Chains A and B, each alone.
Chain A
């Protein structure tokens, strides 16, 4: 969420705490409103046989709305708003260098299954971010996932996701 706010001129900070605070509070306000509206639709009042399905969520949504308005006020107009750095460019790059590959990894799981995707992920992570020699990285990635495979499929008999392509079909698990 942090990268949605544009950076201010040349400052190394990509986002300030109060800005992100306000953005998050706004998102939460929308969420709260969604809950309130949905709860009203479900019946937030008293039905023939007691409180309706939306009775409790309605008040929960209300708390979210009121509190997020409070935070919104504090972060935009409050006297003590925190203008400290939320992330600077270096930190953001570091975080994104983990987050994007992780998202791609989860996408890869959908097709390749957990074991193959994980082996590739660990190996690539080590090569690209850890600057390890490729051979060492690949061996480690494969070994770690072989251990996982033995642990889950063979010993604990907990089958993990094999993916829509199922590249490990030949193993018979």
Chain B
């Protein structure tokens, strides 16, 4: 029960007027980011990160994580009202959310979406509260080979669980590592891959990549569709909320199952998008009203939203306990920790108690605040989407440029951002996943360090990755994940699988 007392200490840290205020600011900014095309959780946090350089780490993470919750909530608004998923993880929400809105039940759909998001997040936070300290304590015993094997598992999971060509996942990942290697080598001090350009000495900052890939890339993609948005309007009044809440406990099995799916996919870097699809698919198969899914079934909104939010929250567990983020947004938050001078990893729970437990406490409060804010302000945010795209698009590009500049006060970074934008657009269209690229870019140096240390210990013998049962089993699991595309092909040869329509609609994240 030590966790509980730590948690209450955390509440004491967070419950200052300043932090509560930042929480509201964060949530509102987050919902705004989630609603606007071209701004998402990852690049929204990346753009706002420089503004927090002068804050105390706890206040900064409270605001930034609230932006993240807000973005998770915000994605549902556009899916239900406009049939446009604001974020990749809300694609599955459109399947039943939009039909509900067409029937004039937008209020119910949104209430169900927000409430189940809240429930998913809450269950995941409870899990983090009790599991994260244990994982961190366990990880304190890790040496370099163990850490490298965990990195390996993280990246191999992308190949094993990702959708699309395994080659493309590998390339995205390796490209991230290669970009991370540009600049000064942390061990020998040699300049790598700079080709004599002094400007490249600084390397490629992942924040620039995130802003370009997700921000500019997304704008270019939405430009293809043209400039018009059309959507349904929604009014949420307390009566609708109450009616929907009375109905929701019926779906507790779905909620619980979806949270479990979400938490699993969040801790392993499967991410929120596959989690939402998987849980929608499971609910469709197992629910009594499964046949009616796709025509406006509340349960079809509950399942993906719960899972997405649970996954988004659970992605912070490996980030906190191991220093390995489970999603691009968690990666950006991890980058924030480094900038604020905190060393992410298992020691964080020992050395920065206030920070860690403040963050966990703010997850509870932030989601509660988020639920209240979104339920009361939906019409306002929906009206933002009615602002014509020809005003929103240039403003977002300007915001991205400002965000890219403020990272290092470097003009060249704005050009890089534009370059990453074009890359993001082309990669997205060709189904190259962006999440592994970003994670590799963030973790590049650390993964490389642990690899070199491990090699140093063993004098270049790769078998150190199987030296003891712990590191051996993690490495084996990682290799299994890496070759899963081949293994599953072999299995399919023996036993042909039936075609899954739902999986075809899942975007490559």
Contact = CB atoms under 8 A, between A and B. Distances in A.
A130 B391 contact: yes
A158 B50 contact: yes
A35 B179 CA distance: 10
A138 interface: no
Q: How large is the interface on B (under 10, 10 to 19, 20 to 34, 35 or more residues)?
A: 35 or more
A161 B398 CA distance: 13
Contacts of A61: 174, 178
Contact of A51 (B170, B173, B397, B452): B452
Nearest to B418: A106
A13 interface: no
Contact of B426 (A2, A42, A98): A2
B394 A122 contact: yes
Interface stretch (B198-206, B220-228, B323-331, B490-498): B220-228
A-side interface mostly: helix
Contacts of B174: 32, 60-61, 63-64, 67
A90 to B, nearest CB: 9
Contact of A50 (B185, B220, B425, B456): B456
Interface string A33-56: 011001100100010001111111
A112 interface: no
Contact of A125 (B167, B216, B394): B394
A52 B188 CA distance: 8
B193 A71 contact: no
Contacts of A71: 165, 167-168, 171
B480 interface: no
B425 A95 contact: yes
A145 to B, nearest CB: 8
A156 to B, nearest CB: 6
Interface of B: 50-51, 54, 165, 167-168, 170-171, 173-175, 177-178, 181, 185, 187-188, 190, 192-193, 195, 216, 219-220, 223-224, 226-227, 388, 390-391, 393-395, 397-398, 401-402, 405-406, 409, 411, 414-415, 418, 421-422, 425-427, 429-430, 448, 451-452, 455-456, 460
16 contacts: A1-B426, A24-B430, A31-B178, A50-B455, A55-B452, A60-B177, A64-B171, A68-B167, A106-B401, A114-B401, A114-B402, A122-B391, A129-B227, A140-B391, A144-B395, A157-B54
